[in-house]
Amino acid sequence: MLTLKNITKTYKDKKVFQNAKFEVEPGEIVLLTGKSGIGKSTLLDIISGIKKYDSGTYYYQGIEIFPQNDEKMSAFRNQAIGYILQDFALIEDYTVMENILLPTLYNNKMDKKMAEKKARELASRFDLIGLFGKKVKKLSGGQKQRVAIIRSLILDPQIILADEPTTNLDSENFEFIMEIFKELKESRKIVIIATHDYRIHEIADVVYQVENYKLVKDV
């Protein structure tokens, strides 16, 4: 279980969350919805530890996570979290393979051979194997999105955060990503998706909105 309690987050003079509560169980797909600027990406950044919050507590599997400690947080992020960022955060001058392998460079869970094998398997499932040696800057938006998704899965993380993961996908790739999310759910992962895409509601267990700086379940 992942739990945020009494989280307050302010950017200089802009309040985003105040004493917000958020809970997800393994095997749940949770959506964050609501209009632009409401704090969806901020919440994913807080869960991933990329952004610090002002006050509150963050627990994962009953253990308090210390996002205020950069070193511990980076280790936790690398080990437990796969994050598909809204802007992909790929390295444009690196090849598809180099981008996919990035998380494995900071982790000793997999040796180089195993990592490359897994990368190839995922790339072929995602129909990207032909682009494996191509620089990311030469790819289309939808191809980049799929590279970002593969990179988030390479270390088999327990928590998958996805920020608008379907924006650039055609309907065939959209259906494929829905299958991937369902598989992650079946293997008891935590999946948190920020989205405006109503088509994703079909696979969601819980939908959250932001109201008055709190996260509320949309029923």
Ligand X SMILES: Nc1ncnc2c1ncn2[C@@H]1O[C@H](COP(=O)(O)OP(=O)(O)OP(=O)(O)O)[C@@H](O)[C@H]1O
| Number of chain positions touching ligand X (CB under 6 A) | 11
**Binding site partner of 198, from ligand X, Mg ion, none, Cβ cut-off 5-8 A by kind:** none
User: Cβ closer to ligand X: 42 or 104?
Assistant: 42
User: Cβ closer to ligand X: 7 or 97?
Assistant: 7
User: Cβ closer to Mg ion: 39 or 82?
Assistant: 39
* Chain centroid to CA 185: 14
> Taking Cα atoms as reference points, which of 95, 102, 98, 169 lies closest to residue 136?
95
Question: HEC profile for 12-68?
Answer: CCEEEEEEEEEEECCCCEEEECCCCCCCHHHHHHHHHCCCCCCEEEEEECCEECCCC
β-sheet with 63-64: strand ranges across: 14-24, 2-11, 55-60, 63-64
Smallest separation, CB 196 to ligand X (Å): 7
Tell which positions 54-113 bind ligand X, by CB under 6 A.
Answer: 86
**Binding site partner of 173, from Mg ion, ligand X, none, Cβ cut-off 5-8 A by kind:** none
**Binding site partner of 104, from ligand X, Mg ion, none, Cβ cut-off 5-8 A by kind:** none
Smallest separation, CB 12 to ligand X (Å): 6
Asked if 30 touches ligand X (CB under 6 A), the answer is no
Query: Between 96-105 and 141-153, two packed helices, what is the crossing angle to 10 degrees?
Result: 30
Tell which positions 185-204 bind ligand X, by CB under 6 A.
Answer: none
Query: x/- site string to Mg ion, residues 16 to 55, per CB under 5 A?
Result: ------------------------xx--------------
Instruction: State how far the Cα of 6 lies from the Cα of 73, in Å rounded to an integer.
Output: 19
Instruction: State how far the Cα of 76 lies from the Cα of 87, in Å rounded to an integer.
Output: 22
Q: Using only C-alpha atoms, what is the Rg of the chain? A: 17
Vertex 30, ends 26 and 36: CA angle to 5°? 150
**HSE of 15 in the Cβ direction (CA atoms, 13 Å)?**
12
Among 21, 38, 135, 203, the residue binding ligand X under the rule CB under 6 A is 38
Asked if 195 touches Mg ion (CB under 5 A), the answer is no
Asked if 152 touches ligand X (CB under 6 A), the answer is no
Q: Where does this chain bind ligand X (CB under 6 A)?
A: 11, 14, 16, 36-42, 86
Q: Where does this chain bind Mg ion (CB under 5 A)?
A: 40-41
